[in-house]
Amino acid sequence: MHVLILGADGYLGWPTAMYFSQKGWNVTAVDNYFRRNACTELDVGMLYPLPSLQERAQLWYELTGHEIKVIIGDIAEPEICRSLFTGTRPYNWAKDTSFTGLPEVIVHYAEQPSAPYSLLNYHYADVTVTNNLRVTNNLMFAVRDLCPTAHLVKLGTMGEYGTPNIDIEEGWIDIEHKGRKDTFLFPRQASSLYHTTKIMDTDLLWFGTRTWNLRVTDLMQGPVYGIDTYESEQNERLRTLFNYDEIFGTVINRFITQAIAGYPLTVYGKGGQQRGYINIKDTLQCVYKAAENPPDAGRLKIYNQIMETYSVNELAELTQKAARKAGYKVTINHIDNPRKEAEDHYYNPQHQGLLDLGVLPHYLTEESMLEMIRTVEKFRKNIRKDVIFRGIKW
């Protein structure tokens, strides 16, 4: 089986490439280095330097004998996107022009993933909208024209649903209206521009499945935390990137780093914001199980990819407790919320689908937090306090 991983240099992309590779899949890893370039441009201070994608693939090959083919290119360019399915490289500097054939599965992570980035100013809003929608549209047409039976696994986000005052179903809702019934996509109402682009790309692909019989799985994922996966434990240079800054760091990774740096935990507003969280190890299981279970042609399957829900206050308290065990005295600071979001709300998302496929969750515990603390503290001297909170408002 051949899988294309788009966005393979990102926080989730590289661990996903290794995961499929160790399962015996033929993996092609594609990226334009957007994330690492954005981190350099915005000077966000990653926790440790990152080897290039090619260097990591080489190291992986030396350790496991499994080859991960790397293609550096921007699939927002239609010709580059289509070349993934034809083997015709539109750029002549590619070292390896061999074509490894059409994929059975395409994992689509190739999007700008940060809510604060999307609202830095008009320029970054435009980059987010243009990149996320162009890439998805290019991909949809390339699959339709060149690889129509492939299973497209797209990373969505729980933030598409917002925080409605009713239970959140897994993607769909039955509605009875004036005596008639139908099934619709569950209502979406995002609270950032980034999340809004994810709603729009769901809509693009839902159009594609209805119109051209594509097969698509949309994984509505909550904020991810963690560093190591079982594959990266073989060598620390295989570790994924780690952000703790306000733009690219997700809340649990940020709190752990703040605890180690002696920076009061940055709880936004009242801290009653609830989200569904997932360990990076479980992201890999979920994407893999979803890939192994394609929908029929013309169907859009949707899973809520979370394992448990927490409020920000609960996360801060858990971090405080775990860090205390490691010898850190942590204070919790409620700061004016720079985001427009509900701080006190009902939240009950259903998330049974991926468990039914056999995903075995790693839950957030003091022990799992301590494990992360032990890893992050090795890089304590690299932590930059100036990038932790800059107050990107919307």
Segment 270 to 289, residues that bind ligand USQ, using CB under 6 A: 273, 275
State how far the Cα of 266 lies from the Cα of 246, in Å rounded to an integer: 10
**Whether residue 157 lies in the annotated active site:** yes
Helix, strand, coil shares of the chain as percentages rounded to 5? Answer: 40, 20, 40
Q: Pick the stretch among 85-93, 110-118, 281-289, 348-356 that binds ligand USQ (CB under 6 A).
A: 110-118
Q: Is 40 helix (H, G, I), strand (E, B) or coil?
A: helix
Q: How many residues bind ligand USQ (CB under 6 A)?
A: 21
Bridge partners, 349 (sequence order)? 168
Closest contact distance (angstroms) between CB of 285 and ligand USQ is 17
Q: Pick the stretch among 62-70, 108-116, 133-141, 278-286 that binds ligand USQ (CB under 6 A).
A: 108-116
Work out which of 31, 170, 245, 341 binds ligand USQ, going by CB under 6 A.
341
Under a CB-based contact definition with an 8 Å cutoff, are residues 272 and 344 in contact? yes
Q: Is 37 helix (H, G, I), strand (E, B) or coil?
A: helix
Work out which of 202, 240, 250, 279 binds ligand USQ, going by CB under 6 A.
250
* Residue listed under structure tokens 């897994």: 170
Surface-to-core class of residue 118, CB atoms within 10 Å of its CB (0-12 exposed, 13-18 middle, 19+ buried): buried
Segment 204 to 233, residues that bind ligand USQ, using CB under 6 A: 221-223
Closest contact distance (angstroms) between CB of 315 and ligand USQ is 8
Residue 273: in which H helix or E strand, if any? none
Under a CB-based contact definition with an 8 Å cutoff, are residues 316 and 258 in contact? no
Of the residues 198, 240, 266, 281, which is catalytic? 198
Segment 151 to 170, residues that bind ligand USQ, using CB under 6 A: 157-159
Backbone angles phi, psi at 21, to 5 degrees: -65, -45
Closest contact distance (angstroms) between CB of 312 and ligand USQ is 4
**Whether residue 194 lies in the annotated active site:** yes
110 lies in the binding site for ligand USQ (CB under 6 A): no
What residues are labeled active site?
157, 194, 198
Residue ranges in contact with ligand USQ by CB under 6 A:
113-115, 157-159, 195, 221-223, 250-251, 254, 266-268, 273, 275, 312, 339, 341
